[in-house]
Amino acid sequence: MADLRQSYEKGALDRADLPDDPMALFLAWFEDAREGGVAEPNAMTLATVSASGEPSARVVLLKGADARGFAFYTNLESRKSREVKATGRAALVFWWEPLQRQVRVEGPVEPVPAPEADAYYASRPRGSRLGAWASPQSEVIPSRDVLETRQAEAEARFEGESIPRPDFWGGWRVVPERVEFWQGRPSRLHDRFRYTRDAASGDGGLWRVDRLAP
């Protein structure tokens, strides 16, 4: 695989370019990704750890980013949710290859409030809402027929009616304690800046910024 190599030359990141709040830079980079040819800019790797210390990772979709953190939605009985409940922490990675940029997020996880989860669930396509009822996420099933049968049963159950959010489906929000921005540079001398929330500030609103070696 030695030939799978490219030179990163599409940008640079300087300390003078960084705002005080990492979310401001994340949202700016996210818009760059939306406009820069990234097919699904909200795709992110979510890493969790079990109570026994076994790590796991998967790609999920970001469904909200603001001053509170980074929100996603899932089955609350899935493996990822069980691990979030066990440790209370998670990490995220965004990789936007056309821009040669990466963002890493680490921090505690909190539930998305029910009214907010209800509003997002109601915005989903009908098939996706039925799918939430049909899929026992992360459980072993004997065949795809199980899913299709459960989907048909859910369709019949809610025919002609609105589909309520299942009590086993909701959202999690990763509250950032550390956010790292990575911009590819030539010769593997990439620009890396890490924001770390300053616990000593009292209100948790201040961030320390450090440049990291690539």
> Is 10 annotated to bind ligand?
no
* Alpha carbon of residue 87 to chain centroid: 17
Residue 213 identity: A
Q: Whole-angstrom Cα distance, residue 142 to residue 160? A: 30
Among the options 126, 157, 188, 211, which is catalytic?
188
194 is catalytic: no
- Tell me: is residue 87 an annotated ligand-binding position: no
122 and 110 in contact (C-beta within 8 Å)?
A: no
User: Is 5 part of any known ligand binding site?
Assistant: yes
Find residue 4's DSSP bridge partners: none
Which residue, 181, 183, 204, is CA-closest to 193? 181
Place of tokens 């979709």: 61
DSSP 166: P
Q: Check whether 74 is labelled as a binding-site residue.
A: yes
Residue 96: which of 127, 141, 145, 62 has the closest Cα?
62
Tell whether 149 is in a known binding site. Answer: no
Residues in contact with 175: Cβ distance below 8 Å, sequence separation at least 6, in sequence order: 68, 69, 107, 108, 109, 110
Asked if residue 182 belongs to a known ligand binding site, the reply is yes
* 85 among annotated binding-site residues: no
Q: Does the annotation flag 124 for ligand binding? A: yes
Q: Please, are residues 213 and 192 in contact by the beta-carbon 8 Å criterion? A: yes
Contact 174, 83 (CB under 8 A): no
User: Is 89 assigned to a binding site?
Assistant: no
7 is in an annotated binding site: yes
Residue 195 annotated in ligand binding: no
Which residues does the annotation place in the binding site? Answer: 5-8, 58-63, 73-74, 79-80, 102, 120, 124, 128, 137-138, 182, 188-190, 192
Residues marked as catalytic:
188
Which residues does the annotation place in the binding site for substrate? Answer: 5-8, 63, 120, 124, 128, 188-190
Which residues does the annotation place in the binding site for FMN? Answer: 58-63, 73-74, 79-80, 102, 137-138, 182, 192
